[in-house]
Amino acid sequence: MKRLASHLTLVASLVFLSPLLRCASVDVSAAEQVKPALPVIPDRTFRLTDFGAIPDGKTLNTDAFKTAIAAVAKAGGGRLIVPKGVYRTAPFTLCSSLDLHLEAGAMIQAPDTFEALGLPHPSTLKTQAEAAAVRTPDPLISGRHLHDVSLTGPGTIDGSGQHWWDWSERAERAQRGRLVYARPHLVVIDGCERLLVADLTFTNSSKFHLVPKNITDLTIERVKVRAPSNAPNSDAIDPGPGTNFLIRDCDIDVGDDDIVIKSGGTNILIENCTIKHGHGISIGSETTAGVHNMLVRHCTMEGTDIGIRIKSMRGAGGLVDNVRYTEITMKGVADAIVLQLDYVDNNRPNFKGDPTKIPAIRNILLDHITIEGSRNAGIIHGLPDSPISNITLRDITLTAEKDLDVRDADHPTYERVTRTIKPGVGPKKIPGEH
């Protein structure tokens, strides 16, 4: 009781003194005004089944997808409709001026065996060197250097990831000596002006689900992403680099980062998203080109490992600044707030990178946040030569088992922060939890 009383006295003092303390100078006005330009798609319609596709969940429809998309490209663009049914396919690529539209009940599905992709089963290989020499397949759906692309409709894109997860880095950590196969992402669009992803469900990717990078004008809305909570590296939405990102009204429950902004992202608005399992709404870990002007608002997180997270590490760092998280509700989140420059990647524990790439975090505002029943309030860990600076916590109500741990950082500015620290209020730790 004495410790708690002392702690609450400290909080009260910080609230009283806050006008005298340096506050984070955060300008996210550009992010507030983000309205990405939408793709312009010609008014032409094509149906996948007109190109020989068979939706029986067994036949590989790769040629049908390639032929149909070639026809769209030749015509100068249009909408390619995928009707109801399960369309197995190997990887295929998109074209510009294309709306790939999955109707209700339509599923594009990756093969569920290595052999269907022409790969040897890992159990037939003897050494990790042999496994490393196997070519990683392309993403199931990909595109490069495009413009005006949409992925839309109430259908599903399924990565059939289980056989990949069984031969992942996490599986090797659990069973030393087990071989590791490099895994493909599910959907990767690399280089695009005006990209829209709306209403789809992405599920069971072998690794990341949706990776839009080098994008100008990105809209992701009403998207659902699902993977088991123990699916390794099953990030949901990983945009960046790029500019003018709007991510809204998404429903995410996966085994790793739910939404994570990668290096080079600027003018980013994330709003009205619901997050279940996973690592919350994050930045990093690779931040060499920086992340700037990001606003996250009106989001809920329940049962996630982490809530708010900005992570980077020496050798892969740049500046992250002007970031605001506001109107956030967390319930049963293990680690509520994580600002971390000494991050260690479990898949690359010996990573060195470029020693000149030193990460930095500054000008962060966390306000109007309710955190109920966390195991840890979180950490703010900088580096001795790059302390985290200008962090403000404002109008926050927090209940957790352990208080915020701050090191190699300026002390945060607290304004109207109520912290209740007591044992037993957080989620129970699951054996083997990462």
Domain ranges of the chain: 1-22+279-434, 39-251
Compute the average pLDDT of residues 6-29.
51
Q: How confident is the model at residue 8 (pLDDT cuts 50, 70, 90)?
A: very low
Tracing tokens 């006295």 back to the chain, one arrives at 9
Tracing tokens 């605001």 back to the chain, one arrives at 324
Give the C-alpha distances (Å, rounded to integers) separating 275 from 88, 255, 370, 384, 415: 29, 11, 15, 33, 27
Give the C-alpha distances (Å, rounded to integers) separating 78 from 24, 36, 278, 331, 338: 47, 21, 36, 44, 44
In this predicted model, what pLDDT tens digit does every residue of 200-223 receive, in sequence order?
A: 999 999 999 999 999 999 999 999
What's the token pair of residue 312? 């980077």
Task: Judge contact between 328 and 307, C-beta under 8 A.
Answer: yes
What H or E segment, with its residue span, contains residue 405?
Answer: strand 405-407
The CA dihedral of 235, 241, 245, 249, to the nearest 10 degrees, is: 0
Task: Judge contact between 89 and 139, C-beta under 8 A.
Answer: no
Q: Do domains 1-22+279-434 and 39-251 have the same CATH topology?
A: yes
Rounded CA separation 230/243 (Å)? 32
How many C-beta neighbours within 10 Å does residue 21 have? 14
Task: Judge contact between 251 and 273, C-beta under 8 A.
Answer: yes
In this predicted model, what pLDDT tens digit does every residue of 338-376 receive, in sequence order?
A: 999 999 887 787 888 898 999 999 999 999 999 999 999
How many C-beta neighbours within 10 Å does residue 308 have? 26
Q: Does domain 1-22+279-434 have CATH number 2.160.20.10?
A: yes
DSSP letter, residue 343: -
- The per-residue pLDDT of the chain, averaged, comes to 93
In this predicted model, what pLDDT tens digit does every residue of 234-279 receive, in sequence order?
A: 999 999 999 999 999 999 999 999 999 999 999 999 999 999 999 9
Residue 430, pLDDT > 80, answer no
CATH code for the domain defined by 39-251: 2.160.20.10
Give the pLDDT score at 429.
Answer: 73
What's the token pair of residue 151? 């992925």
Q: What is the CA radius of gyration of the chain?
A: 23
Tracing tokens 């980077």 back to the chain, one arrives at 312
